[in-house]
């Protein structure tokens, strides 16, 4: 490949030239940087090579709540200590891979401690809702009044409408049910729009972001863990 062409690709996509047929070192997915055009490039550059966008998104989610996703003993150790969302591009592929692995092991152990659970949801923020009857109908407005809605992502398993869940908030354990669940997939997608539409599969799979409307009015901390 001509040098000028590599430079052109690098400057126009903000990604170093990725040879055709390259794979993501974390998940083995094929990286398309040139074959499908610049704007559908799925490669993201780290310090020593490219990974796919899906793996980068997983890394970002885990790094946002790093001190909850990593065991205490590893949180202050290098390279994990200096890994953060802002400097993800300075991380090496190997560090990213071992970080994902450590988080996965810790997640499995945390779920196993709960006994009969198979999934875990991480909370980013919490809302109390009071939807208007004119927006959602009288019956749903009554059902959802003052209920707690969690926004976050599924780290393992799946969470769907009707599931009984367990929230562990420090010493408190709250057993409740998911009244409604919505997947977040783009910037225009808001909680209010989902409440009004009340459509879709109402299920969040692993690594999906979204909202869980709970059958509880009890406020919890966003460091609480949600299990299914
Ligand atoms: Zn990948």
Domains of the chain, by residue range, sit at 3-7+14-112, 120-227
Contact by Cβ (8 Å): 169, 123: no
Q: Tell me the CA–centroid distance for residue 9 and ligand 1, in Å.
A: 21
Kindly give the distance from the C-alpha atom of residue 25 to the centroid of ligand 1, in angstroms, as a whole number: 7
Per-residue pLDDT for the chain (228 aa), expressed as one digit of tens each?
A: 566 666 655 555 555 667 778 899 999 998 877 544 455 678 888 999 889 999 999 999 999 989 899 999 999 999 999 999 998 989 999 999 999 999 999 999 999 999 999 999 999 999 999 999 999 999 999 999 999 999 999 999 999 999 999 999 999 999 999 999 999 988 889 999 999 998 888 999 999 999 999 999 999 999 999 999
For domain 120-227, the CATH superfamily is Translation factors (2.40.30.10)
Ligand 1 centre to CA of 69 (Å) is 19
Cα of 1 from ligand 1 centre, angstroms: 25
Nearest to 122 by CA among 204, 27, 194: 204
State the sign of the Cα–Cα–Cα–Cα dihedral 219, 197, 124, 119: positive
Contact 92, 48 (CB under 8 A): yes
> What predicted TM-score, i.e. pTM, was given to this entire model?
0.87
- Taking the centre of ligand 1 as the mean of its atom positions, its distance from the CA of residue 28, in whole angstroms, is 6
**What's the CA-to-centroid distance between 57 and ligand 1, angstroms?**
9
């Amino acid at each position: 490949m001509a040098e000028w062409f590599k430079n052109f690709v690098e400057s126009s996509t903000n990604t170093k030239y990725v040879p055709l047929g390259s794979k993501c070192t974390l998940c083995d997915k094929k990286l398309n940087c040139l074959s499908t055009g610049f704007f559908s490039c799925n490669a993201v550059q780290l310090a020593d090579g490219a990974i796919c966008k899906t793996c980068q998104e997983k890394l970002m989610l885990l790094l946002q709540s790093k001190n909850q996703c990593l065991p205490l003993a590893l949180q202050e150790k290098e390279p994990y200590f200096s890994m953060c969302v802002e400097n993800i591009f300075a991380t090496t592929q190997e560090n990213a891979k071992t970080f994902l692995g450590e988080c996965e092991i810790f997640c499995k152990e945390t779920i196993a401690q709960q006994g009969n659970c198979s999934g875990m949801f991480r909370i980013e923020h919490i809302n109390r809702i009071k939807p208007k009857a004119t927006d959602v109908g009288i019956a749903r407005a009554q059902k959802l009044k003052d209920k707690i809605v969690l926004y976050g992502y599924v780290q393992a398993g799946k969470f769907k409408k009707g599931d009984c869940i367990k929230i562990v908030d420090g010493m408190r354990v709250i057993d409740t049910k998911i009244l409604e669940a919505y997947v977040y997939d783009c910037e225009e997608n808001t909680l209010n729009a989902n409440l009004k539409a009340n459509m879709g599969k109402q299920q969040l799979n692993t690594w999906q972001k979204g909202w869980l409307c709970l059958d509880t009015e009890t406020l919890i901390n966003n460091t609480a863990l949600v299990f299914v």
